[in-house]
Amino acid sequence: MREKTIIVEGLEYHYGKIKAVDNITFEVARQEILGFLGPNGAGKSTTVRILTGQLRPQTGKVTIFGMDIKQNLKRIQTRIGVSFEQPNLYEQMTALENLNLFASLFNVKDFDAKLLLKRVGLEGREKEKVASYSKGMKQRLMVARSLVNNPELLFLDEPTSGLDPASADSIRNLILEVREKGTTVFLTTHDMWEADKLCDRVAFLNQGKIIALDTPYNLKLKYGQRSLVIELARGNYLEKQTIPLDTPDTADLLRNIFNRGKVVTIHSQEATLEDIFLQITGRKLTE
Amino acid sequence: MNFKLIITLLKKDITLFSRDRFFSILTVAGVLIFIILYLVMPGTVDETLKIGIFEPGSSYLCKAIGQMEGIEVHSFSSMAELQEAVKQNRYQAGLLVPDNLYQKITAGDRPEIVLYFAPEMDQETRSAITVMIRQMISAVAGQQQLLQLQTSVLGTDRLDSALPWRDRLIPVLALVILGTEMLSLASLISTELEQKTIQALLLTPLKIQHIFLSKALLGTGMAFSQVIIFLAVTGGLVREPQAILLITLLGSILVTGLGFLIAALSRNMMNVASWGVIVMILFLIPSYGALFPGLATEWIKLIPSYHLIDGISQTLFDTSGLSAISINLLVLLGWSVTVMTIGVLALRRRQA
């Protein structure tokens, strides 16, 4: 049984009459990457703000590193790292100054800001003011800042948003690297492919409630429908047909297609997390 | 309280402050300009009364007036010349004496003497010169005139120790420097709130109290040090330095609290500037009392800056010590504590 880094029990949060988080319960094990997925307004940000101590839970209990967040907030915060979606860096300071400031606040000994900047691909630009950085560079610096105190728990909110594919890949590799060193990662993202690739488990959040929480594989197995996509030659054009793979009629449907003409291509297709979310909630994740 | 954290925050704020071109230029240039302004303004008051006279056919009155202490008299050869000189403010007053003044007096006529005033002369000075000229003429010409004279002293009586304009400006310029620092601090805090960097700070071992304390130290320190530099250069620390240091410190705390309040009310730099201008206009109202003693009315004392300006004025110009300005100090202390408390609470609410 793996040690639990986060235990959330019956958590609720209201903004006036609006219930942003509605009685959610979940656990995150040490070294696990948990993906928190949901459309805008689903309650992801509120949950992250509660878990990082920016909001006090109104109902329910949050335990992090075995400590109640209400009583041990500052002790917990020294052991976590947070990367916000919107960069909130000191724009008139250089990347080095930004990182050294936070290292000093966390009282990190022998901190090597240059090495950390190299890890996020910002070497050579460390002495430039952040104001001159592109959005992607700021995003990478945000991730670097969240790692300054070698956190045991890392909260990443859309860490690859706005990054080019190569930069996004380097950040994903960095996430896997810190996880290998023992860090637990709480990842909020809209990128289903990223969630599928990085996360050990994903939680679907809708209208403040967790509606599904499992490994991507299990979710696909449980909710997803495999299918076959077949391209058939029909004179001068190609006709595309999709048939379900796991039904009693699949063989008959397939035979029928082969009888109708020449099959050009045939592929099996798995459901994506996006499809599964749509299937469960009737809403798109990117709404 | 972890002072290492406070020092780290102060270093960060000073770095950010120094990189804000607008406010760093305003801060340095502001103090320099005010010091230069002070130095180029006349350091003494010319109390000599300059009178021009056109006295056809005689120079008796001119000589007699010229012998009087504190009066410089010049005889003109034509009425037009005299009128032009007075009109151009080169003479504060001009006397037009009729022909054959003494024969007319002897004959029992009442000759008419015309007194011209420079256009920019205020009513009080006109009255004073009128009285003086009547007395001189009666003394010289021997003509008895019964005059009912009423004199009153407006504000601080500086008859024997009139202040040069540049000295009168010292409290006002000190207030403007404090106001500039208030805007700088408000801008710094507002930017921190707007860019949400404060959120990142609060996820470190820092508590909100650390942030407030560092901002308060920075604001008060910057405002205090700049006013003290200005006062040191302009000689303001020579008399009663303890009283000046104390009242400047209280003034600095007051503007720091106002900086907090403005930052809490503002969403961007334009808001900071707008609120700042409103506060500055209000705070500069009592400065008229320093520039024009006697114009200050009772309601002006309700404005906190009155006690700052009045305290500095009294200390600088009347060599009043701590005891003489104790009321100013107490009222300023009350305002400083109140405004700082409201500022911190407003900022805390805004941050939450």
* pLDDT at position B260: 93
Sheet holding A227-234, edge to edge: A237-244, A227-234, A262-269
Report the gap between the CA of B18 and the closest CA in chain A (Å).
10
* pLDDT > 70? residue B149: no
CB within 8 A of B276, min separation 6: which ones? B179, B182, B183, B186, B262
* pLDDT at position A47: 94
Position with higher pLDDT, B64 vs B12 = B12
CA dist., res. B250 & res. B254, Å (int): 6
Cross-chain Cβ contact A54/B12 below 8 Å: no
CA dist., res. A42 & res. A18, Å (int): 12
Average pLDDT on A137-144 reads 92
CA dist., res. B180 & res. B184, Å (int): 6
Where do the structural domains in chain A lie, given as residue ranges? 4-221, 225-269
| pLDDT tens digit sequence for B213-258 | 999 999 999 999 999 999 998 888 888 888 999 999 999 999 999 9
Q: What is the CA radius of gyration of chain A?
A: 23
Q: What is the pTM of this model?
A: 0.72
Architecture of domain A4-221: 3-Layer(aba) Sandwich (3.40)
Report the gap between the CA of A81 and the closest CA in chain B (Å).
8
* pLDDT > 70? residue B150: no
Check if A132 contacts B (Cβ < 8 Å): no
* pLDDT > 70? residue B45: no
* pLDDT > 70? residue A207: yes
CA dist., res. A46 & res. B250, Å (int): 42
Q: Which of A60-69, A169-178, B57-66, B183-192 has the lowest mean pLDDT?
A: B57-66
* pLDDT > 90? residue A152: yes
Check if B208 contacts A (Cβ < 8 Å): no
Position with higher pLDDT, A198 vs B33 = A198
Cross-chain Cβ contact B8/A80 below 8 Å: no
| pLDDT tens digit sequence for B285-308 | 888 766 665 555 677 888 899 999
For chains A and B, count residue pairs whose Cβ atoms are closer than 8 Å.
59
Report the gap between the CA of A254 and the closest CA in chain B (Å).
58
Average pLDDT on A21-26 reads 93
* Paired tokens of B97: 């004496």
Comparing CA positions, the residue from B184, B284, B191 lying closest to residue B226 is B184
Q: pLDDT-based confidence at B159, cuts 50/70/90?
A: very low
Largest CA distance in chain A: 73
Chain A 143-162, residues with CB within 8 Å of chain B CB atoms = 145, 149
CA dist., res. B155 & res. B153, Å (int): 6
CA distances from A61 to A13, A57, A70, A71, A208 (A): 11, 7, 9, 11, 16
Mean pLDDT of chain B: 81
Check if A221 contacts B (Cβ < 8 Å): no
Check if B199 contacts A (Cβ < 8 Å): yes
Cross-chain Cβ contact B203/A82 below 8 Å: yes
Task: Name the phi and psi angles at B126, rounded to 5.
Answer: -60, -45
Position with higher pLDDT, A236 vs A95 = A95
Position with higher pLDDT, B40 vs B182 = B182
